[in-house]
């Protein structure tokens, strides 16, 4: 099953993707996570993308497509994948369609998590993440059991550098300008489903399962 999770920053894509990868046994492929990993390793790619990521802008399409194509060509993606944060522009969506059709594959479903801008800002500013395992928390509605520490491995929770107020505004603007048009793109392909992302985490998961269970093999 090949799936894209669409949604504004803060709409819960990462949190839902963690659950979906377990339920459907397909890898969660997040371009944001790949970029953050490369930046922390100070690799060539990391050095090329760090300014874009830090400022809340988009990494150029060509580089992003190159990196994702390499990732999707790995064997664990052969039976399906769950994309989070890619595509983010119509050009990236077209490149993805081209990449898949070369391998005689296609996208099965695109799930768009809908959320108001005010709710997205609120969520992003209270989001915290474990630097060791990547688990995501939210101080408002999904806090860790012990303040400041990851439930899974005790890592000291931190805030993403791009979750600061000015950068949040920029990322939402970029989403509205460049990523929102993907809704129409995938509606035109007849594979778009929308889910209200403003519900609790479990309710949102249930709504996504309803969409995706029919593609389960």
> What secondary structure letter does DSSP report for 191?
-
Residue with smaller CB distance to ligand AMP, 7 or 155: 7
Check if the beta carbon of residue 108 is closer than 8 Å to that of residue 191: yes
Nearer to ligand AMP, 41 or 206 (CB): 41
Name the residue nearer to ligand AMP (CB basis): 66 or 213: 66
Residue whose beta carbon is closest to ligand AMP: 32
Q: Which is nearer to ligand AMP, 51 or 210 (CB)?
A: 51
Structural tokens at position 43: 């690799």
Selecting among 160, 164, 170, 187, the annotated active-site residue is: 160
Please state, in angstroms and rounded to a whole number, the distance separating the CA atoms of residues 19 and 9: 18
Q: Nearest 5°: phi and psi at 107?
A: -75, 135
Active site residue 23: no
Distance CA 205, CA 189 (A): 24
Q: Based on the residue annotation, tell me whether 88 is a catalytic residue of this protein.
A: yes
> Whole-number minimum distance, CB 56 to ligand AMP, in Å?
5
Please provide residue 166's backbone torsions phi and psi, each rounded to the nearest 5 degrees: -65, -40
Find the shortest distance in angstroms from Cβ 128 to ligand AMP. 14
Three-state SS at 198: coil
Known catalytic residue: 187?
no
Evaluate whether 213 touches 23 at the Cβ level (below 8 Å).
no
Give the residues lining the site for ligand AMP (CB under 6 A).
9, 31-32, 35, 52-53, 56-59, 64, 85-88, 92, 162, 171
Q: List the catalytic residues.
A: 13, 88, 127, 160, 171
């Amino acid at each position: 099953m090949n799936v894209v999770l669409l949604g504004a920053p803060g709409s819960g894509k990462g949190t839902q993707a963690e659950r979906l990868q377990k339920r459907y046994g397909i890898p969660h492929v997040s371009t944001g996570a790949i970029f953050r990993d490369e930046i922390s390793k100070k690799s060539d790619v990391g050095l090329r993308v760090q300014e874009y990521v830090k400022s809340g802008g988009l990494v150029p399409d060509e580089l992003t497509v190159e990196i994702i194509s390499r990732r999707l060509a790995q064997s664990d993606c052969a039976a399906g994948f769950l994309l989070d944060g890619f595509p983010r522009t119509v050009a990236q969506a077209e490149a993805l369609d081209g990449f898949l059709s070369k391998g005689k594959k296609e996208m099965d479903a695109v799930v768009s998590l809908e959320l108001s801008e005010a709710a997205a800002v609120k969520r992003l500013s209270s989001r915290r993440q474990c630097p060791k395992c990547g688990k995501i928390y939210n101080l408002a509605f999904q806090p860790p059991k012990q303040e400041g520490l990851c439930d899974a491995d005790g890592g000291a929770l931190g805030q993403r550098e791009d979750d600061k107020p000015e950068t949040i505004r920029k990322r939402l603007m970029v989403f509205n300008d460049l990523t929102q048009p993907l809704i129409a793109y995938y509606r035109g392909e007849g594979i778009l489903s929308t889910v209200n992302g403003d519900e609790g985490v479990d309710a949102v998961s249930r709504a996504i399962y309803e969409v995706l269970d029919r593609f389960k093999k």
